[in-house]
Amino acid sequence: MTLSYEVPQGSKIYFNESARLKRDIERLAVEIFYENGYEEISTPSFNFTIDEKILTKRKIIRISADDNKQMILRNDNTIDVIKIIKRHLGNKIDNKKWFYIQPAFSYPSTEINQIGAECLEENSMGNILCVAVSIFQKLKLNPILQISNMNIPRLCAEESNIPLEVFYKMKLDKILSCDSYLKDLLYIQTKSSLQNYIKKAPKFIKEELEKLLDSASYCHYENTIFSPLYYSYFTYYDSLFFRMFSENRVFLLGGKYRIDEVYSCGFGLYTNEVVEFILG
């Protein structure tokens, strides 16, 4: 029997120290956003979307409107923010930089608290990356910053005739048994190793490797690694991609993407993970 006051699995309760910490993290992020020219946006928790990128990425929570039209609980902040700005606010605003502090939801009862930013300009990756890094620096945390380029595994999959799943699941035995250039890519982590490899890289990935190398100049952060073959399951990220993590906890995901023909860059910070990590 489920009692009315039981907390569904996946939901979060913050109180005392954890509630104060969560609010402090949000307040610090807001200050950084405003300092960098971002404005806040809050989107509805419900929408009528039938976007396949949303419907297939997570298990969605389906509900019905009063006319029985199908709705879902918001389960991706990035897609909702871009679509609402493009379709509802496009003629009313000029600002290109937006942040939000709101949860996303997935079936059956998972609540994902997020602090996020989206910049509706294709060449804003440097700004987005630096804003993300500055939040963790102000928190005095030093997670690993991993930068990759989704186009590299895509091109490698096509060139070597292997499924993208090999890179998404990092099937090392399969990668090592394929063409020798893949083994070389697998061992790249530092800026210098990336620079050295580009000199001998196959032509079909050279340009994308150079884009990855360029990202090293966006902001100074010592704990940075490069992973040319990393491929994220977040399907709308289509080029440069980054994540920050520590001790198997992913704190943040971000990168370049295109939604509704709008080329943008953004990130989502997983507040739950940061709070739990700090509290130990």
Instruction: Indicate the length of the chain as a whole number.
Output: 280
Nearest to 235, CA basis, from 55, 43, 48, 60: 55
Q: Is the pLDDT of residue 57 over 60?
A: no
Predicted confidence band at 107 (pLDDT cuts at 50, 70, 90)?
A: confident
The reported pLDDT for the residue numbered 1 is 46
Q: Is 86's pLDDT higher than 50?
A: yes
17-56 confidence digits (pLDDT tens): 999 999 999 999 999 999 999 999 999 998 876 665 555 5
Task: Give the start-to-end residue ranges of the domains of the chain.
Answer: 14-140+245-280, 151-231
Query: What percent of the chain clears pLDDT 90, i.e. is strictly above it?
Result: 68
| Superfamily the domain 14-140+245-280 falls into | Bira Bifunctional Protein; Domain 2 (3.30.930.10)
pLDDT band at 160 (very low <50, low <70, confident <90, very high): very high
Distance CA(91)–CA(193), nearest Å, equals 47
Q: How far is CA 199 from the centre of its chain?
A: 30
Say what the pLDDT of residue 52 is: 58
What does residue 107 show for φ and ψ, rounded to 5 degrees? -70, 140
Could you tell me the strand order of the sheet in which 237-246 lies? Answer: 39-40, 97-106, 110-119, 262-270, 249-259, 237-246, 144-149, 224-226
Phi and psi angles of residue 189, each rounded to the nearest 5 degrees, phi first:
-140, -35
CB-side exposure of 124: number of CA atoms within 13 Å? 24
